[in-house]
Amino acid sequence: MAQLPSLGRFPYSGIRTRPVFEWPNGTRLAVHVAINLEHFIFGEGGVDLDRVTPAPNHRSYLWRDYGNRVGVWRLLDLFDEFGIPIGAITNSSIYEHCPETVAAFRERGDEIIAHGATNSKKPAEMDEDEETEMVRAVTATIAKHEGAPPAGWLTPYLTPSEITPDILKEAGYRYILDWGICDDQPFWTRTRSGPLLAVPYPLELNDQPAIVFRRDTASQFCDMIIDHFDEHLHAATRYPAVCSISLHHFIMGQPFRLRHLRRALQHIVERRDDIWLTTPGEIARHYASLPEDRQVHA
């Protein structure tokens, strides 16, 4: 039988046969909470909450912008309350649309992670020149405002092209979240210009697919966070891991959902001494510093 087509960027690796390693302070479970700071082109692109609506689709544009106007601030209050570091996955158009939101994460010392220019544009639909220019412009915008280029990248809507990793590596990125949905540990991947680290990022423990598409309630989603965390912590002595949680400010920033998120985050911070509560960039840095024989290589 002919070999099936494959992504071809990294080989299979079963977690049971991998080397054991530790996170800082002898912990075995790293936890990162990511918030997606997104801005959309009016009349173009974006997910609908409950039904498909024709352009210009005022209702969905305004629902999503609730996150920038209100939801993000409610979430920031919650993150401050629990002292949780955040990976702020940021469309570069946020710097023009509502710069005070990303400034608030900067002031907290959070990590700013590149997330394309806008979630209305998918790299999978771009040619190489267009995508390369988009990555260049996004990187330059973040570097201008943050004083340094971003280390990490998440492609809008998780829609990378065939060459997105190559473009990112050549633009100086150190890690990518797109491929992290297939693992609970970081691992090295191949690009045409050398290795690029994949850091875990959730597709399941992600409020958009859970609440918008699967129709899970806020209570169900936050029960999932607690169960996911507890099982990770139970298994961490055998399988060092990353427990990642993805939030969107226009979804979990709604007060009736925030009430449940408070319950889930409270549960996590009560075990703060048993985990490493951190950001994707710190996870990438620590993993890359481990001895070579403790890492998973492409």
Residue 58 confidence (pLDDT) above 90: no
Q: What is the CATH number of the domain that holds 213?
A: 3.20.20.370
Closest CA to 152 of 117, 111, 194, 102: 111
User: Once rounded to an integer, what is the mean pLDDT over residues 82-97?
Assistant: 98
Residue 49 confidence (pLDDT) above 80: no
- For residue 45, being part of any structural domain is answered with yes
Beta carbons within 10 angstroms of residue 258's beta carbon: 18
pTM of the model: 0.96
User: Once rounded to an integer, what is the mean pLDDT over residues 255-262?
Assistant: 98
Mean pLDDT of the chain: 96
Q: What pLDDT shows up at residue 173? A: 98
Q: For residue 142, with 0-12 CB atoms within 10 Å meaning exposed, 13-18 middle and 19 or more buried, which class applies?
A: buried
- For residue 88, being part of any structural domain is answered with yes
With tokens 């939101």, the residue in question is 101
**pLDDT band (50, 70, 90) for residue 45:** low
- For residue 34, being part of any structural domain is answered with yes
Model confidence pLDDT, tens digit, residues 150-202: 999 999 999 999 999 999 999 999 999 999 999 999 999 999 999 999 999 99
Report CA-CA distances (Å) from 27 to 234, 257, 284, 291.
12, 30, 16, 17
How many domains are contained in the chain? 1
Closest CA to 225 of 75, 67, 31, 76: 31
Spatial distance between the Cα atoms of 64 and 264, rounded to a whole number of angstroms: 23
Spatial distance between the Cα atoms of 185 and 239, rounded to a whole number of angstroms: 9
H or E element, residue 248: strand 241-248
Q: What pLDDT shows up at residue 59? A: 84
The dihedral built from the CA positions of residue 132, 135, 141 and 145, taken in this order, carries a sign that is: negative
- For residue 265, being part of any structural domain is answered with yes
Look up the domain containing 79 and give its range: 23-294
**pLDDT band (50, 70, 90) for residue 46:** low
Share of the chain above pLDDT 70, in %: 99
Share of the chain above pLDDT 90, in %: 91
**3-state secondary structure at position 136:** helix
Residue 18 in tokens: 């991998």
Beta strands 175-176; 111-114: pairing state: unpaired
Residue 62 in tokens: 């305004």
- For residue 18, being part of any structural domain is answered with no
Q: What pLDDT shows up at residue 12? A: 95
Query: Which DSSP category does 190 fall into?
Result: E
User: Once rounded to an integer, what is the mean pLDDT over residues 22-32?
Assistant: 97
Spatial distance between the Cα atoms of 95 and 88, rounded to a whole number of angstroms: 13
- For residue 189, being part of any structural domain is answered with yes
**According to DSSP H, which parts of 209-297 are helical?**
218-235, 249-252, 255-269, 280-289
Residue 96 confidence (pLDDT) above 80: yes
- For residue 9, being part of any structural domain is answered with no
- For residue 6, being part of any structural domain is answered with no
User: Once rounded to an integer, what is the mean pLDDT over residues 53-63?
Assistant: 84
Closest CA to 257 of 202, 224, 211: 211
Model confidence pLDDT, tens digit, residues 188-246: 999 999 999 999 999 999 999 999 999 999 999 999 999 999 999 999 999 999 999 99
Residue 50 confidence (pLDDT) above 80: no
